Amino acid sequence: MINKGSKLYSIFTGSCPKCHEESMYLNPNPYVLRDTLKIGEKCSHCQTKYRLEPSFFFGSMYVSYGVGIAFSVAAFIISYFFLNSSLMTAFIAITVTLIVFMPIIMRVSRTIWINMFIHYDKDLAQKNPKKR
Ligand SMILES: [Zn+2]
C-alpha cells in the first residue's frame, strides 16, 4: 500500500528521504531513549547528508506540535467516543498517549521535516543498487 518512492514510506520507516534504501536512525528501536534522536551523518547508500545545517532539526519542533496534536485528537476520539469515557479520563488518555508515543512522535516529526527539503530521487535509488 505504501510503496518506496512515496513520502509516507520514508516517514513511517524513518528511511533516507532521497533513496528510501536505509534507515536514517542509528538504532532501529525508538524506545532506546538515548538513541531516539541519533541520526547518521549521511546515507551510506546515496551519500545524502541528513543535516543540511547544524541547527537543521530545530525546525522539526514545529512539526512535532502538529504530530502531537494529531495523536491527542486520535486518543480523545478513541476514548471519548468509542470507549465512552468521561472527559477527565479522555484527557488522561491524551496525556498517557503523548508520553507513551513521544519517541515515535519525535522521530516521525524529524522524518517529516527532512522530507520537506529532500525529495525522493528514483534515478539515484536505481543507479546505485543496494550493495548488501
Ligand atoms: Zn539515501
Q: How many CA atoms lie within 13 A of 42 on its CB side?
A: 8
Domain that holds residue 80: 7-127
Q: What is the pLDDT of residues 86-129, one digit of tens each?
A: 999 999 999 999 999 999 999 999 999 999 999 999 888 876 55
Which phi and psi (to 5°) does residue 81 adopt?
-90, -35
Tell me the pLDDT of the chain averaged across its residues.
93
Contact 80, 130 (CB under 8 A): no
CA dihedral over 54, 33, 8, 44, signed as positive or negative: positive
Checking if the pLDDT of 7 tops 70, the result is: yes
Name the one residue in this structure whose C-alpha cell is 539515484: 124
How far is the centre of ligand 1, averaged over its atoms, from the C-alpha of 130 (Å)? 10
**Domain-embedded: residue 2:** no
105 CA distance to ligand 1 centroid (A)? 22
Q: Structurally, how many domains does the chain consist of?
A: 1
Residue 129 Cα to ligand 1 middle (Å): 11
In a domain, 28, yes or no: yes
For residue 132, what pLDDT is reported?
Answer: 45
Please check whether residue 101 lies inside any domain of the structure: yes
SS3 46: coil
Within a domain: 85: yes
Q: Which of 89, 58, 90, 86 lies closest to 77 in space, CA to CA? A: 90
> Do the domain assignments include residue 16?
yes
Mean pLDDT (whole number) for 46-74: 94
Domain-located, residue 17: yes
- pLDDT score, position 36: 96
